[in-house]
Amino acid sequence: MSRSISFPTSQTGHVTLAGAGPGDPDLLTLAVARALAEADVILHDRLVSAEVLALASPDALVIETGKAGFGPGIAQKDISALMVAFARAGRAVLRLKSGDAAIFGRLDEELDALDAAGIGFTVLPGITAASAAATALGQSLTARGRNSELRILTGHDVAGFAEADWQALARPGAVAAIYMGKRAARFVQGRLMMHGAAADTPVTLVENASRADQAIHAGTLATLPQTAACLSGPAVILLGLTPRQTARLPLSLPLEARS
């Protein structure tokens, strides 16, 4: 029996909302893999990888809703309307979001719409991009003696660049995973430096985490905007983290000696 939280109702129709992880299909949970194989209709965000979608039944109707976080796509109300309509028609509906549906995934808006329509739902968690990105670095997101706190923030939201507790983030040893941060890189750099963060604070960007084209861009707060400007794929900015190999080298070692 599944221990995920389900909210059945007396009415017909049910939707499974699931996190598809960062891209590598090996990082799906068994529950999500099963839901993929069993779904009649799959509504997925843009960042759900082709390799993951390949696990859908060949008979399934697969619809891309286009959204990547707060990016453009089918209007939220239309996505909700589609879920409700297919569920009412008795189809097994899977709403698939990248990473974990509960992190910058607008999950609540969709659950509210299902509630309003009297449609039951199940939510299945997924591996969020920050977990995959930290794994790529060989680093922990928390470490005894370094950071007992991890902040997850977005570079921007519907209202524009997003404010955060910059004072806390600027403290030495602070670790944060910044999602949707590419366009906000200069803003984030400015805010952190304004609050006293050192220019040489380690900042690593992990692009396409867990995918075949994964790339790690290690740098500092000083180089963040230039690095971010060069990226084309989805990326997580890991503030305060550096790849494990670099972390173990003496800080005085010249760059060219690090291999």
* Sites of contact with ligand SAH (CB under 6 A): 22-23, 47, 68-69, 97-100, 103-105, 128-129, 133, 179-180, 206, 208-211, 234-236
* Cβ atoms within 10 Å of 151's Cβ, excluding its own: 16
Nearer to ligand SAH, 23 or 202 (CB): 23
107-117 helix and 76-88 helix, angle to the nearest 10 degrees = 40
Nearer to ligand SAH, 117 or 235 (CB): 235
Nearer to ligand SAH, 86 or 179 (CB): 179
Residue nearest to ligand SAH (CB): 99
* Cβ atoms within 10 Å of 140's Cβ, excluding its own: 15
Closest separation in Å from C-beta 204 to ligand SAH = 12
DSSP 5-69: -EE--SSS-EEEEEE-BSS-GGGS-HHHHHHHHH-SEEEE-TTS-HHHHTTS-TTSEEEE----T
Closest separation in Å from C-beta 124 to ligand SAH = 13
Closest separation in Å from C-beta 216 to ligand SAH = 11
Separation CA 184–CA 197 (nearest Å): 17
Closest separation in Å from C-beta 89 to ligand SAH = 27
Cβ 138 vs Cβ 214: under 8 Å: no
Nearer to ligand SAH, 97 or 217 (CB): 97
Element (H, E) at 153: strand 150-154
Task: State how far Cα 88 lies from the chain centre.
Answer: 30
Nearer to ligand SAH, 117 or 141 (CB): 141
Closest separation in Å from C-beta 224 to ligand SAH = 14
Please identify every residue annotated as catalytic: 45, 67
Amino acid code (one letter) for 190:
G
Sign of CA dihedral 141, 20, 161, 214: positive
